[in-house]
Structure 1
Amino acid sequence: MIEFWLAAGLLLLIALGFLLIPVLRERRAQQEEDRTALNVALYEERVAELQEQQTDGVLSRAQLDSAQAEAARELLADTDGTQPKVDKRLGKTAPAVIALLVPVLAMAMYLHFGASDKVELTSELAKPPTSVEEMTQRLERVVAAQPDSAQGLFFLGRAYMSQNRPADAARIFERTAAVAGREPQLLGQWAQALYFAAGKQWSAQIQALTDEALKADPKEVTSLGLLGISAFEGKRYQDAIDYWQRLLVQLPADDGSRAPLQGGIDQAKARLLASGGQVTASSDAAKAPATVGIKVRVELGEALKAKVQAGDTVFVFARATNGPPIPLAVKRLTVADLPVTVELADADAMRPDLKLSSYPEVQLMARVSRAGQPVKGEWIGRGAPLASDTTAMQHLTIDTPDL
């Protein structure tokens, strides 16, 4: 922010320079005009002295003419190069007032029409936050500056949930839905915030949100987990087991949340049996974790082999054909690894709620990025859309500039 104000001050000084330089030039011209007037007065005084000496007989007529010609030459030499008199003056008060008003009016107009708050916020966001509270405050300012930013609203709602502020989170998720649409993942987050804000009391609104989310995406993880929690709290242990089993089969084998989720299922089974009930195996209970995976052979085009470096980063990823732009599964390699065969699966997901098995059709891509940026590089290879459960080996050749 300091750099911005220094630059603004420099521009103001330049503007004042354009205003004051003509005034200073006029004062210089006035000084030259005054000096010319003095030279003329001295000339006239000299001519009068010469005429008086000629009258007294000190000078002859020829000497008088010669002396007057010499005085005239001296006057011309003293006034040579003097600018003509210009009868236009600003005076002393007007320039001073204008010089004062220019920065004052510029500052007032910028504070009214400008975006100093966004400039300051951009500078602040360039520095990593030192605490969760500071991060939340920054997100609040982002939302205030960009109220239609769905991404800013969503992350602010998540920040409120991490600070145990579910009521604030529910309010923000509702705004996000109005801006970004009623995405299943968003509806699940909204329902969860409402549930905890109400002291773990179920309501018709929460039920409607989870129903809508699961209708659009039967594998929506937040809604499944929330319904399981509600069923467990309500001592509907079989329902809790069913919901959590549906959630469990979606988690990769190495997912850290599998163990606590399985613990909840086991506890629900124990309480159901202790109450005299009988555990009923759901249709999803016997399913193994999702094993959707696509094998792809990645190679480098012949024309590019002389242009790349061995340490350049290679990203191999799958993206939903009709869905969010964020990759569903990603592998990070280097050019030195090519050619290589990799498998993209749910275990390679960037987010637990966006997985390869959640979308019926995907597109495979491979990108070379010298800067190590997954979203932008120098060259790319793209595959045709295909089913996410494809088992046949796929091939990608990186041979196209990444424009």
Structure 2
Amino acid sequence: MIDFWLAAGLLLLVALSFLLIPVLRSRRAQLEEDRTALNVALYQERVAELQVQQQEGVLDAAQMDAGRAEAARELLADTEGVAAPRVTRLGKVAPLLAAILVPVLGLGLYLHFGASDKVELTREFAQAPQSMEEMTRRLERAVAAQPDSAEALYFLGRTYMTQDRPADAAKVFERTVNLAGRQPELLGQWAQAQYFADGKKWSDKVQALTDEALKADPKEVTSLGLLGIAAFEGQRYQEAIDYWNRLLEQLPPDDQSRIALQGGITRASEKLVASGGKVAQAPAVKPAALLKVRVDLAADLKAKVQPGDSVFIFARATSGPPAPLAAKRLTVADLPATVELGDGDAMMPQLKLSNFPEVQLVARISRAGQPTAGEWIGRSQPLASSTTAPQELTIDSPDK
């Protein structure tokens, strides 16, 4: 903040100069007026002496006029260049009082309406925190400075959860939902914080929050995990297994939490068997499809295209909706290129490669950047969506 206050101080000095310079100028004008008055008094004294000498017969009329003219010339010479006296009604006290009040009022107004706290927070967040406590203090100050920031509230709530402060987190997540809307992820976070704040006791409030979250998004991970925990604590082991299996399907293969989640499923299964129950077989999960394709341009077309032309590579069902199941976008300059098309590239959640047994690969060049129409195209023969062997696709035909 030092550089900020130095800049503010410099601007304050500039402002004060507009007040103090007129005061200094008035003092200089006063000195000039005093000197002019002294010169006039000397002139009048010289004229009086000449009149006395004339009366005593020392000077005749001609000499009297010459002496008077000489005194007048000296007076004019001494007062030449002196500006006319200025009339001011401010006096000396008002400008000096204003010079004192300007910085005081300026500082007070800035501290009340300004953003010094936000400037300081910006500088702090530019540096890595030394501890979780320091990060928490920064987030708390950020929320105080920007109470309408849903993002700051969300991160503060997550931080409270890592510090085992679920009651504080629940209040923060409730504020976040009120600001950002009833998004599934926020509802799940609020429900989880409320559950732990209530001492791991399931309540109608928590049930309503998880129901609303999963209704909007059946794959909302926090709600699935929380329902699994609540079912396990309530000795409803099959429900816990089902919820956790659904959560397991949403996690990436390399997610570290899969190990802990699988361990929870195993413990729930053991307890279910020990209580005389039988673990229901989970429905088989269809493996995710992933097609690898190398796209190139026919030799006779290389002179007819431009490096910046768009290249759309997609897979579509041979029997099904015409919309692409997965798509990637490149430019002619990128060719030849190898891309992967899989369930993660789905244009819509319900239209995945793995949901259709047979697909066709298409690559289209469009100078206008339109994926549905272009100048040149290449198509593959129909192939199974479960194909793992790399495919070759050449753009070689006019797009009709």
Q: Report the CA distance between 1:292 and its aligned residue.
A: 7.1
Q: Report the CA distance between 1:67 and its aligned residue.
A: 2.6
Whether 2:27 is the aligned partner of 1:27: answer: yes
Q: What SS does the corresponding residue of 2:185 show, helix, strand or coil?
A: helix
User: What's the TM-score once normalised by structure 1's chain length?
Assistant: 0.73
Cα 1:3/1:294, change in 2 over 3 Å? farther
Cα 1:252/1:122, change in 2 over 3 Å? closer
Q: Report the CA distance between 1:281 and its aligned residue.
A: 0.6
Partner of 2:337: 340
**Amino acid across the alignment from 1:124:** E
Partner of 1:360: 349
Cα 1:294/1:246, change in 2 over 3 Å? farther
Q: Please give the alpha-carbon distance, in whole angstroms, between the structure 1 residues aligned to 2:347 and 2:165.
A: 30
**Amino acid across the alignment from 1:28:** R
Deviations along 1:15-56, one digit per CA (max 9) or x if unpaired, are: 221122222222211111111111111112222223333444
Q: Please give the alpha-carbon distance, in whole angstroms, between the structure 2 residues aligned to 1:55 and 1:297.
A: 125
Percent of residue pairs bearing the same amino acid type: 65
What are structure 2's unaligned runs of at least 5 residues?
298-304, 310-325, 370-400
Q: Please give the alpha-carbon distance, in whole angstroms, between the structure 1 residues aligned to 2:294 and 2:74.
A: 98
Equivalent residue pairs, number: 340
Q: Please give the alpha-carbon distance, in whole angstroms, between the structure 2 residues aligned to 1:5 and 1:295.
A: 60
Q: Report the CA distance between 1:169 and its aligned residue.
A: 0.8
2:292 and 2:338 in contact (8 A); partners too: no
Q: Please give the alpha-carbon distance, in whole angstroms, between the structure 1 residues aligned to 2:341 and 2:70.
A: 104
Cα 1:201/1:44, change in 2 over 3 Å? same
Q: Report the CA distance between 1:337 and its aligned residue.
A: 6.7
Q: Please give the alpha-carbon distance, in whole angstroms, between the structure 2 residues aligned to 1:396 and 1:64.
A: 112
Whether 2:75 is the aligned partner of 1:75: answer: yes
- The structure having more radius of gyration, on CA atoms, is 2
Partner of 1:91: 91
**Amino acid across the alignment from 2:340:** E
Q: What SS does the corresponding residue of 1:83 show, helix, strand or coil?
A: coil
Partner of 1:166: 166
**Amino acid across the alignment from 1:281:** Q
Whether 2:276 is the aligned partner of 1:287: answer: no
Q: What SS does the corresponding residue of 1:252 show, helix, strand or coil?
A: coil
CA RMSD of aligned residues (A): 3.5
157-166 or 59-68: bigger deviation? 59-68
Partner of 2:318: none
Cα 1:76/1:397, change in 2 over 3 Å? farther
Cα 1:159/1:399, change in 2 over 3 Å? farther
Q: Please give the alpha-carbon distance, in whole angstroms, between the structure 1 residues aligned to 2:201 and 2:287.
A: 31
1:295 and 1:394 in contact (8 A); partners too: no
Q: Please give the alpha-carbon distance, in whole angstroms, between the structure 1 residues aligned to 2:182 and 2:6.
A: 45
**Amino acid across the alignment from 1:343:** E
Whether 2:204 is the aligned partner of 1:204: answer: yes
Q: Report the CA distance between 1:289 and its aligned residue.
A: 5.7
Q: What SS does the corresponding residue of 1:30 show, helix, strand or coil?
A: helix
Deviations along 1:50-74, one digit per CA (max 9) or x if unpaired, are: 3333444444443332232222111
What are structure 1's unaligned runs of at least 5 residues?
306-328, 347-354, 362-386
Deviations along 1:156-198, one digit per CA (max 9) or x if unpaired, are: 1111111111111111111111111211111111111122222
User: What's the TM-score once normalised by structure 2's chain length?
Assistant: 0.74
